[in-house]
Structure 1
């Protein structure tokens, strides 16, 4: 046994050297090992034979890819050795085939490559010859002549070559010898040859031992006991028309279809010529005979089950013909023909998902294995991708395809791909299968935050509330996760002003802008801010945008009158108007400004206190005061006007100024008028005192009048007229009424004479003005600019006295 194993090792060594020579040309490695090697036995070093660096095996991800070989073999990525994983039984793996191989692919990922490895399984003599029946009987007619041959049951040995059955041996006896015959296919079967005539009356049963031996080292054998029963009569054997019947059928043949008919003849007659057909039960036929049945009378062999080419391609049936005593055997060889009844299988051996969107074209995405159980053209498969996607499918090695990136990806345009791979065989009709690969594209930070506009403009009214939100600005980032999270910051290029943080603040997450203080349009008309948006990616990306903020003016400033100036403590302005001025002559101009802007600074000028009739007009938009008509000698020489300057804002604001206009031809006439005006201002301050005094005097006069009236009643009515005449006597001399008007300040001046009459009837007024001399102009008693005594009651009373 040791000597045999040394021989096997020598064969393995020669095979490895031969495989190394082949590898240098075809990238294939061949090993030869004996079956039944112990688990974890070393077959060879793949790394050395493939020329790989053992230190890089782990990073290269060496692995075995095979449907069947993974059960029996495994590779160690630490040392590169190929080991036995499980017991390899050549007979269970390959049956009676002359050669037996295990074929698999060694896949290396970094860099990607596939190597074909073929391992030849050498047979060892691990099976002994075995008879299906360890004891069986045969019959022979006593009349059989010497040289009569009796076919015996063949032994079976699943080994091949010298390890299979090589010879048979019969135990010593007086009547029979053993003969071996060779069939056309080379198989041997034993025959029992009668050497001497039999005498049933002396011995009707002969017990013999049949031994089958192989030529292995050591030699193995198996035995069976033969009981030879001697009978009379029937002395002819059934004879088959063919020793071997061959037939080919398709695997989709219906059940109970006759595929072949065996026929044997017997020269005997009568009952000795009646032949019965049956299957010989051998270990090789146990599984095969279940798929077929034989008609015992006709010899028709029919299908008894569904055939499957992918399970069994050939069937061998042993059929025997028996005429009651004698038995003959023949073989029926059935070839199962393949049809295209299997769809291709698609197996994803390697899939890289998700794949970064910045992967370069040519990057391998998946390793795909395509397999079809059919054979020939039915097993040839083509693969393709049916969608238009940025991926290519390339044949890598035999049934392996490599799915690789064909162009650049952009996750923001498409984040997922459904790649449908269709595998179609070359059969007729062709069969196909499809498999969908769901591929996710992983995000990388390749997009900076983007603003919708290149520049933003905001309008903020002045006098805003500090801390209030004033604007919202947002940027978008089509990336995902941290790559899309944005932080907002602000800055300004204006270094002369205060820092931006003293004016504005921004929410770093939402981009909402807040005012830190209340703005004044008159101080700051606007700001230019740089808003920065920066994502959280690595490395981070950012972008900027300009935000222009305009402060919107509000009407918060009253008009300021520059001329006439109010710096003299609020006293009125004085202007001289030439007496000979033409209508619409310019007298003066009120000049005012408003610190606001726009509509809020549009000013209009109006008179709010002017004498009637008006001698002057004012330009609403210019503030120019002009004469409205020509002056006459009788006209009032002094005019006081109040000018209101009003802006055009919503809820307009206004200021007023008082102007005293003196009508005079030169400055010499204007000076005394100005002095008299100043004195009249002092008199006006005592107006209330004068009125009170007048009321007291009138009350005293009334009391005196009542008392006089009572006295007069007592004395008689004849003295009445003289009494009243005394009361009406003028106290003061007559004065020109125009001169009185010059000194008027809105109150009644002295000296002036009034004629007073006390009404005797209670229904009448207490006082009545009595008509004075005709040369006295009553109309000039009251200044047209003064109010207080020029009421309607007084005007109505004057004409009444004239009647």
Structure 2
């Protein structure tokens, strides 16, 4: 409060006679010796400042100041930082100037909090503390970054428009508008668009794998930074997965009215014709099998056999006289699609004839069985062909056989009645001779063997 004091002392005296003696004056100077009883005092206990990132190394940040009411060495103040402070920050021990020796990166650390000590030189020394808070301001120094440089998605064909293909993750570590990104589809003629609110890729039209089985496109991500925007790109591959949406197409035979002549001399195992079909689908959806629609009994009696995998039709056994004529095979061509296969049908018409001339059909055969042709072959109904002449011939043959059977039955009955009547007459008028011994019939006879 006050380092020295002055005391004035005046001495006055009187003589014996009572006269006044002139006074004497002295000054006593009292110096108050200092002890270290005051710690340094900061002008403010908390400092706040803002610094843009990407600063020049060695940049001066601010100057802190603390005073000490003591004197001499007791008032001499030095500054230091907490021992846990990052080494990139430095403070002048005498000046209190705070600086940073490295480039600050807001994306690594946005706020730095430092503790500054001010200590005097007394014995023992006294100190005080102040806090410095440094907020690092953002710059647009980071381009948008995709989670991967190449996105791969799979989507079924025939999905409805605006179906989601997948999520395209993109991030920008900058702040505010510097980190606000926007996506665009570029270098693509495919039906795709980006939903920026969700960061997802969507279709705009139906997809058909048989037309395009995959798409290649690029996504461009740009931020809204200042003074200029930053961009980045990512590649996207979209594979269109197959669904069973195509029926098998029969190439051979060319039509249901096609006909082929087979010689009766053809030996068993000979290939006489072939069914060839294709399916535009993929995998199991395109695996084709061929089946004759008839019960096993009818298939076993047919002179022709169909290979379910290759579509080859061969002679199953040596052709006989009964095999002459037209043979109609109603064949279902199925794919292996799940959960239900798709199918188409074809007639294979084979004429067994001595003459190898052209084979012509008066009309296309007609299927008269059930329309449920996607069931298993063993349960499929027998196929019938509408042929008026063959139906009439079958009816006449049946009637003739019934008439012959009736005649044979009547003749058998008449002969039996006549034989029984004759036996009865002999039993009534006959007698046993004197020397004849009736023969007793045994129930069973056994040979010597």
Task: Indicate the TM-score class for this superposition, using the shorter chain for normalisation.
Answer: 0.7 to 0.9
* 1:426 aligned to which of 117, 121, 125: 121
Structure 2 unmatched ranges of 5 or more? 369-386, 410-449
CA deviation after TM superposition for structure 1 residue 426, in Å: 2.8
| Residue of structure 1 equivalent to 2:280 | 595
* 1:373 aligned to which of 56, 59, 69: 69
SS at match of 1:583: coil
Whole-angstrom distance in 1 between the partners of 2:138 and 2:261:
87
| Residue of structure 1 equivalent to 2:436 | none
| Residue of structure 1 equivalent to 2:421 | none
Within the alignment, does 1:345 sit opposite 2:30 as a pair? no
Q: Deviations along 1:416-459, whole A, 9 cap, x unmatched?
A: 11101122333332322222212111111111111110111122
Whole-angstrom distance in 2 between the partners of 1:336 and 1:619:
125
SS at match of 1:770: helix
* 1:464 aligned to which of 159, 162, 183: 159
Structure 1 unmatched ranges of 5 or more? 1-91, 98-130, 133-137, 149-174, 188-330, 494-498, 686-741, 758-766, 774-803
Q: 1:645 to 1:756 in 2, by over 3 A?
A: closer
Whole-angstrom distance in 2 between the partners of 1:772 and 1:658:
43
| Residue of structure 2 equivalent to 1:324 | none
SS at match of 1:745: helix
CA deviation after TM superposition for structure 1 residue 588, in Å: 1.0
RMSD: 3.7
Larger Rg: 1
CA deviation after TM superposition for structure 1 residue 636, in Å: 5.2
Whole-angstrom distance in 1 between the partners of 2:112 and 2:303:
93
User: Scaled by the length of structure 1, what TM-score is found?
Assistant: 0.43
| Residue of structure 1 equivalent to 2:406 | 770
Within the alignment, does 1:631 sit opposite 2:319 as a pair? yes
Query: Superposed, which structure 2 residues align to 1:387-402 within 5 Å?
Result: 387-389=84-86, 390-395=88-93, 400-402=95-97
* 1:606 aligned to which of 281, 288, 291: 291
* 1:518 aligned to which of 191, 206, 223: 206
Q: 1:434 to 1:680 in 2, by over 3 A?
A: closer
| Residue of structure 2 equivalent to 1:145 | 16
Within the alignment, does 1:474 sit opposite 2:169 as a pair? yes
Q: 1:454 to 1:679 in 2, by over 3 A?
A: closer
Q: 1:557 to 1:534 in 2, by over 3 A?
A: same
CA deviation after TM superposition for structure 1 residue 633, in Å: 3.2
CA deviation after TM superposition for structure 1 residue 634, in Å: 4.1
Within the alignment, does 1:583 sit opposite 2:279 as a pair? no
Within the alignment, does 1:181 sit opposite 2:24 as a pair? yes
CA deviation after TM superposition for structure 1 residue 334, in Å: 4.8
Whole-angstrom distance in 2 between the partners of 1:749 and 1:393:
119
Does the 8 Å CA contact 1:349/1:366 hold for their aligned counterparts? Answer: no
Whole-angstrom distance in 1 between the partners of 2:407 and 2:34:
153
Whole-angstrom distance in 1 between the partners of 2:354 and 2:347:
22
Within the alignment, does 1:644 sit opposite 2:332 as a pair? yes
Q: 1:93 to 1:614 in 2, by over 3 A?
A: same
| Residue of structure 1 equivalent to 2:223 | 535
Does the 8 Å CA contact 1:362/1:404 hold for their aligned counterparts? Answer: yes
Q: Deviations along 1:341-384, whole A, 9 cap, x unmatched?
A: 22222335995622111221122211111322223333333321
Q: 1:617 to 1:388 in 2, by over 3 A?
A: farther
Whole-angstrom distance in 2 between the partners of 1:388 and 1:471:
46
* 1:414 aligned to which of 92, 95, 109: 109
Whole-angstrom distance in 2 between the partners of 1:560 and 1:378:
105
Does the 8 Å CA contact 1:351/1:367 hold for their aligned counterparts? Answer: no
* 1:385 aligned to which of 62, 68, 81: 81
Within the alignment, does 1:745 sit opposite 2:390 as a pair? yes
| Residue of structure 1 equivalent to 2:99 | 404
Q: 1:679 to 1:483 in 2, by over 3 A?
A: closer
Whole-angstrom distance in 2 between the partners of 1:679 and 1:96:
143
* 1:336 aligned to which of 20, 26, 32: 32
SS at match of 2:65: strand
Whole-angstrom distance in 2 between the partners of 1:577 and 1:338:
135
Q: 1:519 to 1:431 in 2, by over 3 A?
A: same
Does the 8 Å CA contact 2:262/2:353 hold for their aligned counterparts? Answer: yes
CA deviation after TM superposition for structure 1 residue 95, in Å: 8.5
CA deviation after TM superposition for structure 1 residue 637, in Å: 4.3
Whole-angstrom distance in 2 between the partners of 1:553 and 1:678:
42
Does the 8 Å CA contact 1:611/1:639 hold for their aligned counterparts? Answer: no
Q: 1:376 to 1:366 in 2, by over 3 A?
A: same
User: Scaled by the length of structure 2, what TM-score is found?
Assistant: 0.74
CA deviation after TM superposition for structure 1 residue 603, in Å: 1.2
Does the 8 Å CA contact 1:522/1:595 hold for their aligned counterparts? Answer: yes
Whole-angstrom distance in 1 between the partners of 2:108 and 2:61:
19
Whole-angstrom distance in 1 between the partners of 2:242 and 2:259:
36
Whole-angstrom distance in 2 between the partners of 1:344 and 1:746:
126
Does the 8 Å CA contact 1:344/1:431 hold for their aligned counterparts? Answer: yes
Corresponding pairs, count: 381
Q: Deviations along 1:741-796, whole A, 9 cap, x unmatched?
A: x9962444586584699xxxxxxxxx9952569xxxxxxxxxxxxxxxxxxxxxxx
Does the 8 Å CA contact 2:192/2:202 hold for their aligned counterparts? Answer: yes
Q: After TM superposition, what 4+ stretches of structure 1 lie above 6 angstroms from structure 2?
A: 92-97, 679-682
SS at match of 1:423: strand
Does the 8 Å CA contact 2:81/2:91 hold for their aligned counterparts? Answer: yes
Does the 8 Å CA contact 1:562/1:591 hold for their aligned counterparts? Answer: yes
